[in-house]
């Protein structure tokens, strides 16, 4: 599959590299066509690893991973525009973390809205699926990094798009992703970030994850 990954940070690179190992052709998108991180990543990941501007990358992929920082996500998508994003699946991995008031960060949107919903509302023709935003990126692409059974959540309005995304998650090693419902359920997963951050402080590692203990 042709997949775009927006963002050249650790999350973008980790997901993009995993997609390459799974046989996909991946274009890493960034603000400029010759972003050093994107060029380096493409050089290191073989012929199926490409790079380009956000717009060029968005045109390339049928699926777009949003791995930009939450504070920039809406501006990045705006720079691409509704026409190019229409009809595509946008997998939103970002969290609306606001570091401007010091540590620990707060959320710039929460409670009666979420970044996932903001994106879906701005791009009604795009199939936004929120997932993977509740764990660190090493665990996102390799759930076996954390012992035992643990969970990934999926939120989105379109069943068909979620089915495709769940298939992709399964190829990452997630056996049974939990479909929470429509995109408004992204509020719930974005709002566990403050607890994730505190647990990171207590456990002194990011290699942990939320698991939903249940009797079935």
Binding site for a copy of itself (CB under 8 A): 101, 106-107, 110-112, 146-150, 153, 178-181, 185, 187-189, 191-192, 194-199, 201-203, 205, 207-216
Which residue, 56 or 150, has its beta carbon nearer to a copy of itself? Answer: 150
**Measured torsion, CA atoms of residues 38, 189, 145, 165, in degrees rounded to the nearest 10:** -60
List C-alpha distances in Å: 119 to 30, 188, 199: 18, 16, 28
Least gap, CB of 148 to a copy of itself (angstroms): 5
How far apart CA 164 and CA 90 sit, in angstroms, is 11
Shortest Å, Cβ 147 to a copy of itself = 5
Q: Of 48 and 108, which CB lies nearer to a copy of itself in the complex structure? A: 108
- Token pair listed for 29: 């998108």
Pick the closer one to a copy of itself by CB: 83 or 147: 147
Q: Which is nearer to a copy of itself, 75 or 202 (CB)?
A: 202
Q: How far is the CB of 97 from a copy of itself (least distance, A)?
A: 11
Nearer to a copy of itself, 85 or 139 (CB): 139
Residue 198 in tokens: 């505190």
- Asked if the bond preceding 34 is cis, omega within 30° of 0, the reply is no
3-state secondary structure of 81: coil
In the complex, minimum distance from the CB of residue 215 to a copy of itself, in angstroms, rounded to a whole number: 5
Closest approach of a copy of itself to the CB of residue 170, in Å: 18
Tell me how far apart the terminal alpha carbons of the chain are, to the nearest angstrom.
35
- CB-based contact 3:65 (threshold 8 Å): yes
């Amino acid at each position: 599959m042709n997949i775009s990954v927006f963002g050249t940070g650790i999350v973008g690179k980790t997901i993009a590299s995993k997609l390459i190992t799974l046989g996909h052709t991946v274009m890493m998108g960034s603000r400029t066509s010759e972003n050093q991180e994107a060029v380096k990543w493409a050089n290191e990941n073989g012929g199926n690893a490409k790079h380009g501007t956000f717009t060029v990358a968005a045109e390339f992929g049928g699926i777009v991973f949003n791995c930009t920082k939450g504070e920039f996500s809406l501006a990045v998508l705006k720079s691409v525009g509704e026409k190019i994003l229409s009809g595509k699946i946008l997998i939103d991995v970002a969290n609306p973390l606001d570091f401007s008031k010091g540590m620990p960060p707060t959320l710039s949107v929460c409670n009666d809205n979420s970044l996932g919903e903001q994106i879906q509302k701005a791009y009604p023709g795009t199939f936004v699926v929120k997932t993977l935003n509740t764990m660190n990126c090493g665990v996102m692409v390799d759930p076996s990094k954390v012992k035992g059974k643990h969970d990934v959540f999926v939120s989105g309005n379109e069943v068909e798009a979620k089915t495709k995304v769940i298939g992709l998650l399964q190829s990452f090693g997630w056996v049974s992703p939990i479909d929470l419902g429509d995109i408004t359920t992204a509020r719930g997963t974005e709002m566990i970030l403050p607890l994730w951050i505190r647990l990171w402080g207590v456990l002194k590692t990011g290699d942990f994850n939320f698991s939903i203990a249940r009797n079935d």
